[in-house]
Amino acid sequence: MVHRRSVSALASLVLAGTLAACGSGTSDTSEDATPDGPVDLRMTVWTADEGHLGLFQEIADAYVADHPDEVSSVTFETIPFEDYTTTLTTQLAGGNTPDLAWVFESNAPEFVSSGALAEIGGTLEATDGYEYEDLLGSALDLWSNDDGLYAYPFSNSPFVMFVNTDRIAEAGQTQPSELHAGGEWTYDSARDISAATVEDLGGAGLVVRDFDYTAWSNLASVWGAWGAQPWSADGTTCEFDSPEMVDALSWFHDAVYTQGAIPGPGTAADFFSGDTTMTITQISRASALDGSFEWDIVPLPTGPAGQPGVIGQAGIGVLANGENPGAAANFLAHFTNPENASQLSQYFPPPRTSLLTTESLAEGNPAFDERQLEIVVEAIDGAATKPSHVNYAQVDTATRSALDALWTETGDAAAVATEVCAAIDPLLQD
Amino acid sequence: MTSVPTLPARRRTMRWRDRDALYGYLFSAPAVLGSLAFVIAPLIAVVWYSLHEWNVLANTFTFIGGENYTRMLTDAALHDSLWASLWFSLGVLVLNMTLALALAVLLNQHLPGTTLFRVLFFSPVVVSLVAWTIVWGFLLQADNGVNAFLAALGVTGPNWLRGSVTAMIAVVVVQVFKNVGLNMVLFLAALQGVPEDIGEAARLDGAGAWRRFTSITLPMISPTMLLVGILTLVGSLETFALIDVLTDGGPGTSTTVLVFYLYRQAFEFNQFGYASAIAVLLFVIVLALTLLQWQTRKKWVFHES
Amino acid sequence: MSPDQLTKPPTAQPSPGARRPVGRHSPRPRRGKRPPRAEHLGRAALVFLMVLLAVPFVFPTWWMASSSLKTTSEILRIPPTVWAESPTLAPYRDVFTLQPFAQQYMNSLYIAVAVTIGTIAVAALAGYAFARIRFPGANALFVIVLIGMLVPSEVTIVPLFRMVNTLGLIDTHWPLIVIPVLGAPSVLATFIMRQFFITFPGELEEAGRMDGLTRFGIFARIAFPLARSAVAAVAIFTFLKSWNLYLEPIVYLSSKENFTLPQALTQYVDAYGGPIWNVQLAATTLTVIPVLIVFVIAQRQFIQGLANTGLKG
């Protein structure tokens, strides 16, 4: 009897499996925005930091207490950074759509244009006391299209240059902060200082952090100073073969292979271990500094076209196919209102003009002094975002493959740039 | 189990047989039904997905028939990944089997410290893949780790992870070092099952050590080699995390093996339909190779009876 | 291949106690006419060869363990330091304060034990049936089961996720226990058990039958108890596989209290996703060492177990 019962249980499992498996991809039904009772909301995030999650939960609990009829609970679900997109996509494919999700900036155009996210600009604007006009227009660009705003860029972290002042002093070079004060802080001077320190002390010179000769979009902080961009603003034409980009890539190539200022591919140099002279990275990385050497930050060096600055962003969106997009958008409006944005700003530089001050950033960035925070605030204003595209994942892969030819002793920027365009032009127009 | 003499006994045997068949079904039911639910049904679902254009983000799921399969014919990146898979799997299969057998033979010599070495060679099997790949990432840099060691010997090592051929060699070797311990233990177990008196007899007949190894030991352990070969091949075709961490499929597309390409299509490009078609292709390849190894076993696998 | 193929003489089956001597204390038969001196040299060379070969196997594990005592900047230093300069146990304390690590350890442990026991039950029954019982369609059913050995988990993760979601079992341990026991991961175990039972002496079964035992009685009282060695091999394989499972927990589980170890290891990151190296490596070391110790203790049993299964042919 036991056998028979377990067999029938298994048979129903098979059936359930087949039904679930053969159900179509569109089985999610969007509930209308005003469900009967209070709902449970779920937001996927990639931070596992206790401080972040504690603050999120605090904000959420206050909201639940104020709106018991609308929301009964908010859960913040941490997915490991490395596996974030895989897991989120599996949840979407499996019909287990979260109500809100953090979105990488490189995925932004794809998420915005695909219809995966719900429009939230209307809800934010209509919320009492939200002060929508306080939001920084340049920060919203990436997350908007003609129909409105699809995600709130809660983190706007500028790229700056971290400098190991010990190494520079030891090699008898001029400190970048002095050069910056004198208006002479250029990529060429950064390269020369780096090359000199390497010659004197060994180790590594200038490291574009996380580039590693694969994540090429991190070079945006370099080519911006040459006035170059990888493709046209509308995303349809490759501009890798523009003279500006070819010059920028040539400069980088020579700094690696001729001057030895930048460690070549296959060398894991890490600024935070103390044997690297300077590194371009986001301010959030300051948490990795452990006081084993003296350091400073300066703005990105300028190049032939000045320095527009670059920020890395992350957004929060409401999933259109979630069960409660209405309630989720209302919660997002609360989560990012002026008061809460001010709280969040201790961890994430907010897109609010009124909060981009040294005082509001000081609390969450104790490693920085007043002067350094000013550099941070200035770096956010007017900065560009890293490259992004509707078809980003494919363009990224194709670009990386084609660019690999440049990272050899004899690599020729002009020839490789032509190859990159040949590889990505069809994808850009897709 | 045959020839039972008396008539009543035979009748009893017949009834026992009938009931026996029922036990056969009952005993195998959990495995068979589990397989239907958690292997066959999902596979059918994947075939079904592969006939669709399915973009998870845009939430589109459109029937397009065999289009995903015809697309494979002209997808140059897919063809690259098939070659990469071929080289990777071939490299892993040959190196893993050879090294595992060599280590097993060494450990079977009753040398001092054998127990210790057995643990050392096996230890990477239980080390987390993440830690393993991080360390090898350090060791395979242009001018450190392995190359620093080579430089001490007066050899200039290549920039392992940045050349297409050396990157392939590197991922093969790192994969083999991680898993060879398991195969080594299997081979060691097989070697210990080879009766010593046969080798001793051959030795007295004047057969050399190599001759004894190739004509006695190898045939005796060939069934193990078959199984280990199949498991290693299937395992190599499923390798993903290691490549993801060490080379991310590069440089160029040189280490983008099929599973990695499948993953990329599904989870990076959001093309679940096409990824499902690649999954079907992967399954067919694994099935074909396994059947091939199994079919050719009669030629080289030795049976005692 | 029919179940009768590969049948060996029953006498070839050693009892679990009778093991071949292993290690340096074993009496080694004198061989050949070569002078002992040359042979000693040759053997010393072989030992030296093993020492050399061991380096690439040992160094990464050593690096992992020693780095867990270092500061982050020292971990990233090139070339790597062999000993920690000023070792500290602080990372080990952080392992437990940053996450409910003990709870996660228990999760991994009980899931792995449940999967191991379940797999042994399913695989032993099925392996026995496919090896010893003649019933119509047995070969076809065996082939159906074997297909599971050929399916990479990436291939079926999406349909399986949909199934688990439909059944409402997301963020529970059920999919991590039930699917490995009944699905693809247990197939290798079934195969090993079948290979073992094929070599099982038929006389013992016949004797059990004469004593009036049912099939189940023969299995439970005679066959299974004698399969200890094969069960040991299956247990170790299965436990390791479950212990190291990575993709599935990440996809199925969402709350920290439910996490398993490989997943928990990814959570030792700073506020911006950068790994806290020393804590992560300390946690990794804590997950590796017990398994290694168990292997050291059980290795002889393990290898004997494998030697006695059908795996050797």
Cβ(B47)–Cβ(A18) below 8 Å? no
How many CB atoms are located within 10 Å of the residue C291 CB?
19
Distance CA C212, CA C204 (A): 13
Cα–Cα distances in angstroms (integers) from residue B243 to residues B88, B145, B249, C232, in the given order: 11, 19, 6, 32
Question: Given the DSSP bridges, would you call strands A71-78 and A295-298 parallel, antiparallel or unpaired?
Answer: unpaired
What is d(CA A99, CA A317) in angstroms, rounded to the nearest whole number?
Answer: 9
Contacts of A92 in chain B (CB under 8 A): 56-57, 59
CA distance B175 to B166: 14
The whole-angstrom separation of Cα B160 and Cα B170 is: 7
Report the distance separating Cα C124 and Cα C146, nearest Å: 15
Work out the minimum CA distance from A156 to partner chain C, whole angstroms: 13
Of C76, C162, C254, the CB nearest to A20: C162
Taking contacts as CB-CB distances below 8 angstroms, the residues of chain A near C159 are 17, 20-21
Nearest-Cα distance to chain B for A368, in Å, is 31
Note whether A145 and A171 are same-domain residues: no
Mean pLDDT value across residues B107-129: 85
Same domain, A179 and A277: yes
Report the C-alpha gap between B235 and B88 in whole angstroms. 11
Q: Please tell me whether residues A411 and A265 are part of one structural domain.
A: yes
CB contact C56 to B (< 8 Å): yes
Q: Which CATH class name applies to C95-312?
A: mainly alpha
In terms of residue numbers, what domain contains A321? 34-157+312-380
User: What residue ranges in chain B does DSSP mark as E strands?
Assistant: 52-55, 60-63
For the segment C148-206, what is each residue's pLDDT rounded down to a tens digit?
888 877 788 889 988 998 898 988 999 999 999 999 889 989 988 888 888 888 888 88
DSSP state of A296: E
Would an 8 Å CB–CB cutoff place B261 in contact with chain C?
no
Q: In this structure, is the dihedral angle defined by the CA atoms of residues C186, C192, C194 and C197, taken in order, positive or negative?
A: negative
Tell me, yes or no, whether A411 and A268 share the same domain: yes
pLDDT on residue A362: 81
CB-based contacts of A198: which residues, under 8 Å, 6+ apart?
A: A204, A205, A260, A261, A277
Task: Tell me the pLDDT band of B230, cut-offs 50, 70 and 90.
Answer: confident
Asked if A288 and C270 count as a contact pair (C-beta separation under 8 A), the reply is yes
The shortest C-alpha distance from A82 to chain B (Å) reads 10
On whether residue A109 sits in a domain, the answer given is: yes
Mutate to test the interface with C, among B4, B110, B239 (most CBs of C within 10 A): B110
User: What's the Cα-to-Cα distance from C16 to each of B94, C27, C194, C231, C309, rounded to whole Å?
Assistant: 33, 20, 19, 12, 12
Residue A17 lies in a domain: no
Q: Greatest CA span in chain A, whole angstroms?
A: 89
CB B119 to CB C156 under 8 A? no
Contact B59 A407 (CB under 8 A): no
Is the Cβ pair C133, B27 closer than 8 Å?
Answer: yes
* Tokens, residue C265: 């290891």
By the 8 A CB rule, do C302 and B188 touch?
no
CATH 1.10.3720.10 range(s) for chain C read 95-312
Mean pLDDT for all residues in chain B: 85
Both tokens of B100, joined, read 């595992």
Average of pLDDT values for C272-290?
Answer: 79
Q: Which residues of A touch B36 (CB under 8 A)?
A: 14
Mutation site for B-interface testing, chosen from A3, A30, A96, A275 by largest number of B Cβ within 10 Å: A3
Per-residue pLDDT at C162? 87
- Residue C199: which residues within 8 A CB-CB, separation 6 or more? C6, C7, C8, C10, C12, C13, C310
DSSP string for residues in C54-105: HHHHHHHHHHHHHHTTS-HHHHT-SSPPSS-SS--SHHHHHHHHHS-HHHHH
Helix (H) or strand (E) holding B147: helix B146-152
- Would the pLDDT of C208 be above 80? yes
**Rounded distance, CA C216 to CA B70, Å?**
52
- How far apart, in Å, are the Cα atoms of B149 and each of B132, B137, C52, C53, C55? 19, 15, 13, 14, 12
Tell me: do A189 and A331 sit in the same domain. Answer: no
Count contacts between A and C (CB, < 8 Å).
109
Residue A28 contacts B, CB cutoff 8 Å? yes
Q: Report A:288-327 residues touching C (Cβ under 8 A).
A: 288, 290, 292
Q: What residue in B sits closest to A30 (Cα-Cα)?
A: B59
Rounded Cα distance between C185 and C241, Å, is 8
Place of tokens 């509930």: A31
Contact A94 C78 (CB under 8 A): no
How far, in Å, CA of A295 to CA of A318, rounded? Answer: 40
pLDDT for the residue numbered A94: 82
| Cα distance between residue A47 and residue A44, in whole Å | 9
Q: Which letter does DSSP use for residue B55 in this model?
A: E
In this structure, the dihedral spanned by the alpha carbons of residues A261, A264, A267 and A271, taken in order and rounded to 10 degrees, is 30
In this predicted structure, the answer to whether residue C33 has a pLDDT above a threshold of 80 is no
Domains of chain B: 7-49 (no CATH), 71-300 (1.10.3720.10)
Assess whether A152 and A175 both reside in one domain. Answer: no
Model confidence over C255-278: pLDDT tens digits? 888 999 888 887 787 655 666 778
The CA distance from C145 to C187, in Å, is 7
Chains that touch A (3 or more CB pairs under 8 A): B, C
B7-21 pLDDT per residue, tens: 455 555 567 777 888
Nearest to A117 by CA among A145, A137, A94, A136: A145
User: Integer distance in angstroms from the first to the last C-alpha of chain B?
Assistant: 18
Q: Which residue has the higher pLDDT, B96 or A382?
A: B96
Interface of A with B in 331-390 (CB under 8 A): none
Nearest CA distance, B252 vs chain C (angstrom): 23
Spatial contact of B168 and B88, defined as CB atoms under 8 Å apart: yes
- How far is the C-alpha of B91 from the C-alpha of B239, rounded, in Å? 13
Q: What are the phi and psi torsion angles at A314 (to 5°)?
A: -145, 145
Contact B293, B233 (CB under 8 A): yes
Residues A408 and A299 placed together within one structural domain of the fold: yes
Q: Is B159 on the interface with A (CB under 8 A)?
A: yes
For the cut 80, the answer to whether the pLDDT of residue B145 exceeds it is: no
The kind and range of the H/E element at A303 are none
What CA–CA distance (Å, rounded) separates C232 from B216? 28
A393 touches chain B (CB under 8 A): yes
Residues in A closer than 8 angstroms to C251, CB to CB, are: 86-87, 90
CATH number at residue A240: 3.40.190.10
For residue C272, the model assigns a pLDDT of 58
In chain C, the residue whose alpha carbon lies closest to the alpha carbon of B194 is: C312
**A330 touches A64 (CB < 8 A):** no
Partner residues linked to A311 by β-bridges: A158, A385
Assess whether A148 and A170 both reside in one domain.
no
Interface contact B58-A264, CB threshold 8 A: no
Reference A209, options A289, A153, A314; nearest CA is A289
Chain C residue numbers with beta carbons less than 8 Å from the beta carbon of B145 are 79-80
Listed by number, the residues of chain B in 89-118 with a beta carbon closer than 8 Å to a beta carbon of chain A are: none
Of the candidates C50, C265, C303, which has its C-beta nearest B106's C-beta?
C50
- In this complex, do B267 and A22 lie within 8 Å of one another by their Cβ atoms? no
How many other CB atoms sit within 10 Å of the CB of residue A29? 8
> Cα-Cα-Cα-Cα dihedral of A418, A424, A429, A430, to 10°?
160
Residues A346 and A223 in one domain: no
Measure the CA–CA gap between A120 and A336, rounded to whole angstroms: 12
Q: Is the CB of C162 less than 8 angstroms away from the CB of A21?
A: yes
Give the chain B residue whose CA is nearest to the CA of C22.
Answer: B110
Tell me if A13 is assigned to some domain: no
C217 touches chain B (CB under 8 A): no
**CB spacing of C272 vs A274 below 8 angstroms:** no
* Mean pLDDT score, B235-264: 86
Q: Do B23 and C214 touch (CB under 8 A)?
A: yes
A14 with B41: Cβ contact below 8 A: yes
Consecutive 10-residue averages of pLDDT for chain A (430 residues): 39 43 40 66 88 92 93 90 82 89 90 91 93 90 91 92 95 94 94 95 89 89 93 91 96 95 84 89 77 90 90 93 93 94 86 85 80 87 84 89 90 94 89
CA B53 to the chain's CA centroid: 31
The two tokens of residue A124 are: 């934010």
User: What total of structural domains would you count in chain A?
Assistant: 2
State what percent of residues in chain B have pLDDT above 90: 35
Q: Are residues A298 and A415 in the same domain?
A: yes
Token pair of C19 as six digits: 């093991």
The 10s digit of each residue's pLDDT in B45-55 is: 999 999 999 98
Chain C residues close to A268, C-beta within 8 Å:
76, 78
Q: Report H helices in chain C.
A: 36-67, 72-75, 90-98, 101-132, 138-146, 153-166, 174-182, 187-198, 202-210, 215-218, 224-226, 228-243, 247-252, 261-265, 277-308
d(CA A248, CA A278): 19
Query: What is the structure's pLDDT at B161?
Result: 86
**DSSP string over A220-266:** HHHHGGGT--SB-TTS-SB-TTSHHHHHHHHHHHHHHHTS--S--TT
Q: Identify the residue among C72, C73, C253, C260 best suited for mutation to test binding to A, counting A beta carbons within 10 A and taking the highest.
A: C73
Judgement on whether residues A45 and A86 belong to the same structural domain of the protein: yes
Contact across the interface for C255 and A77, Cβ inside 8 Å: yes
| Chain B residues lying within 8 Å of C296, measured CB to CB | 119
Q: Is the CB of residue B136 less than 8 Å away from at least one CB of chain A?
A: no
Q: Sign of the CA dihedral A326, A329, A334, A337?
A: negative
Q: Does B137 touch chain A (CB under 8 A)?
A: yes
> Residue C196: how many CB atoms within 10 A of its CB?
27
Please indicate if any CB of chain C lies within 8 Å of the CB of B287.
Answer: yes
C174 touches B at CB < 8 Å: no
Q: What DSSP state is assigned to residue A217?
A: G
Q: Is B142 on the interface with A (CB under 8 A)?
A: yes
Q: What is the mean pLDDT of residues B15-33?
A: 89
CB B251 within 8 A of CB B171: no
Average pLDDT, integer, range C5-19: 37
CB-based contacts of B151, cutoff 8 Å, min separation 6: B143, B157
Q: Tell me, what amino acid is at A16?
A: A
Q: Chains near B, with 3+ CB pairs < 8 A?
A: A, C
Tens of pLDDT, residue by residue over C117-144, are 999 999 999 999 999 998 999 999 999 9
Interstrand relation of A276-282 and A204-208 (parallel, antiparallel or unpaired): parallel
- As a whole number of angstroms, the distance between CA A293 and CA A58 comes to 36
What is the pLDDT confidence band of residue C113, given thresholds at 50, 70 and 90?
very high
Give the C-alpha separation, B8 to A51, whole Å. 80
Closest-CA residue to A318 (of A109, A123, A87, A37): A123
The span from the CA of A376 to the CA of C6, in Å, is 74
Say yes or no: A126 and A187 in one domain: no
Query: Chains that contact C by 3+ CB pairs under 8 Å?
Result: A, B
Interface mutation target, options A10, A85, A256, A257, chain B, most CBs of B under 10 Å: A10
Tokens 């988990």 correspond to: C153
A260, with CB counted inside 10 A (0-12, 13-18, 19+), is: middle
> Would you say residue A12 lies in a domain?
no
